Each structure stands twice: as structure tokens, then as C-alpha cells.
Chain A
Amino acid sequence: MSDLKQTASGGQPASGCPADEARIGVYICHCGGNISDHVDVEAVRERMEKMPGVTVSRTNMFMCSDPGQESIMEDLKSGLVNRVVVASCAPSLHETTFRAAIARAGGNPYQYEHANIREQVSWVHHGAPATDKATRLISAAAGKARLLTPLTPIRVEAQRRALVIGGGVAGMRAALDLAAQGVRTDLIELSPYLGGGLARLDKLAPHGEDAAGIVRELAGNILSDPLITTHCQARLTAFGGYVGKFSVEISPASRTARAQEAAPGAFVPGKGVLGPAQAPGAPERFDAGAVVMATGFSSYAPQKGEYGFGDNAEAVTLPRFIEELKNAQTAPDGMLRLGSRPVRSLAIIHCVGSRQIPGVHEEGPSGHLNEHCSRTCCAASINAALTVRKTFPATRVYELYRDIRTYGRGQEEMYAEASAEKVTFLRFDVESPPEVVRVNGQYPLEVRVRDELTFGENLELPVDLVVLATGMEPAPIRDLIDMLKLPVGADRFLLETHPKLRPVELPVAGVYLAGTCQAPMDAGEAANAASSAAAKAGALLRRGFVELDPFVAEVDPARCKGTGACVDACLNEGALRLQETEIGGEKVMRAVVTPALCLGCGACAAVCPEGAINVSGWTLEQYEAMVDMILSEAAFAVTADESVSASPEPAEAAV
């Protein structure tokens, strides 16, 4: 672990009391009135000035502006302050701004604490209670700042090699983008083919690009790129290490279902481009600095009897219909024929296996309901309907929907075009879904629906075919989830760290999300996410080292007694271990942290009977100081026109 460093700058101990006396600067933002319209910032500044340890308290109209930042930097450079508290908007917006300013002034960016007095004070409280609450929150921040020790980021050497798991459009896009950044990339794919779900599609909504053409182009580039090694029919069988140096083991997967007649690199309709198979025999092992998850999705499989599925050969899923439609030949009468069977009319039913509601829908074999919207099926259904109407104008098309979600560029126009092409739209309520009934008449099936667009008219639609617009489900990747310790959302898709701030990142540093393993998305969105993931991974690896936030567990060797409670409580295997060491001629066990593996959750800190382990920058002592300051009356100097009441007043009414 010689490549791991977590030391305090300036020779300071990384824990315990700082050697230098705390000189705290408090900087309070008006936010152009957003804060100062409700919080008396000058009163707060005066209160903070009198707080022990606070050497200066300033206000600024916009603390994030250049003059605001410069006032902080000048105080740091002059030695007036050595710890900074900024009271302004949510830390997610400007915490990094102020940390960077501190670093530019030669200070330690981790001797900084943020007080959120906009979103959590001035935007929700008014008048004296807002001013008082701001005072207490800033006091709490100052209480923590007093105990902050200098920290330096953890630096880890990074292998300039990435692993992409999944060979669909997202995986291929990510691999190409990584290679374009000079990163050697291994792409593994469980099946024999590159292309994933995209290879099964035809013309893509809404602009009609050829899915097979896109797969051919991407796979061709993948297979000819010298920096990319493709491993088809391969699976990840072991995974360890940490960001910058993940140890990876790849083994050959099952050899079934490989098109023997096709040559490697050839496109097989409905399947994709045949890729090079992983060599049989011993597993292949290597180190990768970053991993991109691009494991894709599964199509929802309707339950037997769901809208006639399984009971009638004429009830098929949308992916199956798209495949059959690709091979349908035009006829002089303009009628769609599937095989020899004419399709005079067909009904597409939306939201099958999506937007399921507890108590309304039945759970499938997995025991889960898909409460999410699969997003892509509305456009895919309308696209298929348009294809039928334009190519086979003698075939009538009904679309039975709950809500239409044509959200992307060009999709609304496609929806309008479908109406112009005489696709008939009917809207049903989820409580009274359409019924598919086998009948003995001119048509094999009848779809009975209560149409909300005609104010509840009950309609009976004679059809030759029912198409179920099935949604997306997470791919069955339980083995990978367990192996890589990936978080999963309530919808069972992989869960990003933050939907807005870190949308393609995971709490496991160095592992990124690309495409439909994260959520339902169309091919363009999946490629977009993949490029984001590749950019993140590339930026991480190109420097040759990785810098991680130093907010990880740290053991105080003077207090550790080697009980091992922390190791038992640790949530990430390998992050903590007991190691034999010699103290005073005696061999003893002591806890040791591997910083790059530590998640910083603090599960260890709670259980140590000696209080010998803490999370740097988030210690229990610091939290206790914050609580003390919230409860303290020290910041409130009693003035002539104010007294402190020990008896409770009615709390501010909630709205």
C-alpha cells in the first residue's frame, strides 16, 4: 500500500487537537437579498464576532463573487484566519468554490465548514426566528471548524486501463470514448454479439435511423481500435481492489447460441455483430483503474393471461412485433402480413409491465412491481404504428394508452404525424384496463376498452393482432451487484450517487454508470450517458493518479486496543483489518485502514469501545461540538431591548 498516502500537511497530526490555535473567519452572504431579506445578517455578524475563536466576521452581497472570495483569501494570506466558515446557500452549490479559494490562498481546503442559511433558513423562516436560527447554525459550523485538522486528498496511483461491462450501444460508446482519450479498454460481453438491445430494433424513433447500421458502425470501430480488447462470451468472475487499481478476473461464459455460420465481425440480424469469443481455459486476470457498468436492461415478460398473452398466438410483445415487422414484405393490397397471416387491424396496448400500481397490478414471478415509467415505449409504439400505416396503409392501427409521454426532440411531431396518418388513439384508465377476448367472428380477437377520450364510451375493437408495449426491467446482474457492491434503487436499477450532482457515479469510487442499467432510456440517451461515464473515467485515469476526498476512517494508534469491533462493523470488505504490530516489545493487534477502500460511512466509529476510530472531517467530537453550539446561548448577547425566556413560546406555525 505504498502508493496510498493520507497525511496532514505541515507535519500536523491527522487527528486530535491541532497544534495551531483556531482562528476562525466567518463570512456571511446576503445572496443579493435572498438571505438578507429575512435574516438580519449584520446582527448575525456582530454576534459571531464575539464568539470565542472567531477572529473576523464579514458580510458580502455575494460571497461567491470574486470580491467575496478575495476577502476570504486576503484574511488567510495575512494570517488573520486559519479556518473558514461560509454561511450562504446550500453547500452543494458553492462548497467547492470556497474550498478552491482557500487552496489558492495557501490554506487547507478541508479546514472549512459551510452553514446553509438560504435553503434551510431564509427561504423557510422569517424575521427574528430566521436570524436566531442562522446564528445557531453558523455557531455550530464555527464549533466544528475549531476542531478541523488539515487534511490532504488520498492519492492513489491509477492504472491507465478501463473495464467496460456490456457490449450494447452504451458499452460500445463508452469503450470508444475511453480509447479516444488514450485509455486502454477491455470490453466484456456475456453474449456472442455486440449490439445489445439496439440490435433487435429497426428504424429508431423519431428520426428513423437504421439501428443495424448504428450497431455495425460502432462494433466495426470497436473491433478495429487497437486500444480496445473485446471479450465476448465472457463474464466477470472475481473483482477486488480499489479505484485506480481494481483487480479483475474474466472467465469464458457458456458457449451456447453462437451463430456458427457467421464469421467474426459479421452482422447477424436481430442479434448484433459477432465478436471475438473469450479463449477457453484459465481465467484472464488484469488490473483496471476504472469500470463502466453498461449491462443494459431486460424486456418485461408479460404474465400468462395478461392482455391475452400466452393464451393467444395473436398477442405478442412490441420487441417481437418490431422483429417481425422488419421482415414483412409489402403487398399490392397494402395489407400487413406476418407470415401468411393478414393483419387487417391491430391494437397496441401501452404501459404493459410499466407504471404498475400496488393493489391494481399483480406482482410478477420476481415478486416486484415495476412502478417506474419505461419512457421509451410510447415513442417506440407510435413509431411502429407509423411504420405500419405508411408501409401497409390497408392495416388499421389502434393505440390504447394511459398517458402519452413523447418527451424528446421530434417525438411530439411523430405523435402528431401518427394522428395525421389515421392511427386511432384511445385512452384507458388504469382501474379499468382493456380486455383482450377471443371471439368466433371475422377477427380472432376483440379488444374491449372504456375510452376516456369519448367520455367513457365502451368500444369493442376487432383485431387480428394485439401488441403489448412492454417496458424495461433491470437486467439480471445480481452476481455483479454483489461482487462490486453496487447500490440498487427501489426500482431495482443501479442507483447513482446523486441524480443531479453525480449522475453517472456510484459511491464505489471509480465505477460509473452508462445506459439502461441505471434507468430506462432510449439509444441516444444511453449513448449520452455512456459518453458522460467515459469522460468521467477518462478524466480520472489520464493523470496517472487519483485524488480522493480524505473523508475516510482514521485510527488513533494511541487509543486503539485491537478489539476488532470496527473490523466486524465495516461495510466494505478489506477497508479495515487487524494487523500485528509491536508496541513496547509486545506483539499486539491494531486496526489498519485501507483509505482507498473506505467508504467513509463511519459504521466503525460507532462501535469502537475506545473511541479510537473516526471519519476524518466528520468526527463524533465535531458533531458533539455542533450540537453544543446549537444549544448554546453564547452567541446571543442580551441587549437592552431583548431578554431571554426560559419558558417555551409557541413554535412558529408550520405551513
Chain B
Amino acid sequence: MGTRTSAKAQGTILILATESCAYPGADSVGQAHSSYPANAYILKVKAPVLFPERFYIDCFRKGVSGIIIMSCGEECPYEGAYKALAKRVDAIYALMKEHGIDIRRLRLTAICTVCNRAFLNEVNQMNAIVQELGPPVFDQAAEA
């Protein structure tokens, strides 16, 4: 009899990958047949500046264990977007602290179309963190 682990129990990692850089970068990792933890799920985004602070908090509340924002960094095709994103991530960290969520669960990084090693490092590091921390638990006092 086989046992399948639920998404929440396996420590789901959400990767928001930009369509210009990180998403093709993830494809490049696939083309190299380099394995990484299967609990990492990649969503293609035009620019992660789309997501408000509440999106991240809601994801943690729903049971996502870790989020990696894989942006284009300084090579972002949308001028000014990366700066706005970096500012937003600071605000999300503040909210995470308020809710008692370990800020290591969220990471902003830049991944290019051929940054295979960097991609693998980021996913493996986040996986180690979510396995260590387990599912996110919100601070009851902050929730009240």
C-alpha cells in the first residue's frame, strides 16, 4: 500500500518566476535534467510586482511553506518594477514578523535564463528551510 503525502505536509514551495528570465531559466534546468525537490511549484508571471502584500500572507495562511520570487533583477524589462518589488518585499517581511511567520520562508532573488546552478541552489536552500520549519503557523495573538 502506497502512501501519498499531502501538499501541505510535504512543504509546498511556490516559485513566482518571471516569463522573461526565471521561467525560461527553470526550463533550462529541465533541459539539463537537473533534479530538484518535487514540492517546488513554478508559476509564470509577467512581473512579480503584480502581487500585493496580502497575496503572500494569504499563501502562507493557505498552507504554502515557502515562496521564492525569482525575478529578472536589474535586467527587469519593466523599468522601475524591480525597485518597487524590493520595496514591497520589505513590507511583506514586516507583515510576516507581525504574524509570527519566519521571514526565511520568503526570498527575493534574480534568476537569468541560463542560471541553472543559482536556480537549484535557491530551491534546495528553501527546501531545507521549509523541512526544518514545517508548515507555517500564524501567531494567534497577532491574529486576534
Contacts and interface: CB of A to CB of B under 8 A. Distances in A.
Contact of B77 (A125, A497, A636, A644): A497
Given A124-B34, A631-B8, A623 B51 contact: yes
A56 B10 CA distance: 30
A649 interface: yes
Sorting the interface of chain B by its residue count into under 10, 10 to 19, 20 to 34 or 35 or more gives 35 or more
Contacts of A116: 27, 42
Nearest to B127: A651
B43 interface: yes
Interface centre among A551, A569, A571, by most chain B C-beta atoms within 10 angstroms, is A571
A636 B14 CA distance: 20
B141 interface: no
A651 B1 CA distance: 19
Interface in A69-128: 90-92, 116, 118-120, 123-126, 128
A92 B17 CA distance: 14
Contacts of B78: 507, 571, 599, 601, 603
A642 B1 contact: yes
Interface in B8-65: 8-12, 14, 20, 24, 26-27, 29-31, 33-39, 41-47, 49-52, 55, 58-59, 62-64
A623 B6 contact: no
A126 B30 CA distance: 12
B38 A133 contact: yes
A497 B20 contact: yes
B26 A120 contact: yes
B46 A90 contact: no
10 contacts: A90-B30, A124-B34, A495-B77, A571-B49, A603-B81, A623-B45, A626-B43, A644-B4, A648-B9, A651-B10
A305 to B, nearest CB: 31
Contacts of A118: 30
Given A91-B44, A606-B51, 8 more contacts: A120-B27, A136-B7, A137-B41, A571-B78, A620-B51, A643-B4, A651-B131, A652-B39
Given A137-B41, A654-B124, A631 B62 contact: yes
B122 to A, nearest CB: 11
Sorting the interface of chain A by its residue count into under 10, 10 to 19, 20 to 34 or 35 or more gives 35 or more
B113 interface: yes
Contacts of A551: 46
Contact of B62 (A607, A627, A654, A655): A627
B33 A90 contact: no
B13 to A, nearest CB: 9
Contacts, number: 195
Contact of A654 (B47, B76, B127): B127
Interface in B72-100: 74-81, 84, 88
A585 to B, nearest CB: 33
A569 B87 CA distance: 12
B77 to A, nearest CB: 4
Interface centre among A91, A137, A490, A602, by most chain B C-beta atoms within 10 angstroms, is A602
Nearest to A92: B24
B34 A601 contact: no
A618 to B, nearest CB: 6
Interface string A128-153: 11101100110010000000000000
A647 interface: yes
Given A123-B31, A631-B64, A645 B6 contact: yes
B140 interface: no
A654 B64 contact: no
Nearest to B28: A119
A645 B49 contact: no
Contact of B75 (A495, A603, A650, A651): A495
Given A120-B27, A651-B127, A645 B46 contact: no
Interface string B100-125: 00000000000001000000100110
A275 interface: no
Given A120-B26, A132-B4, A647-B9, A571 B80 contact: yes
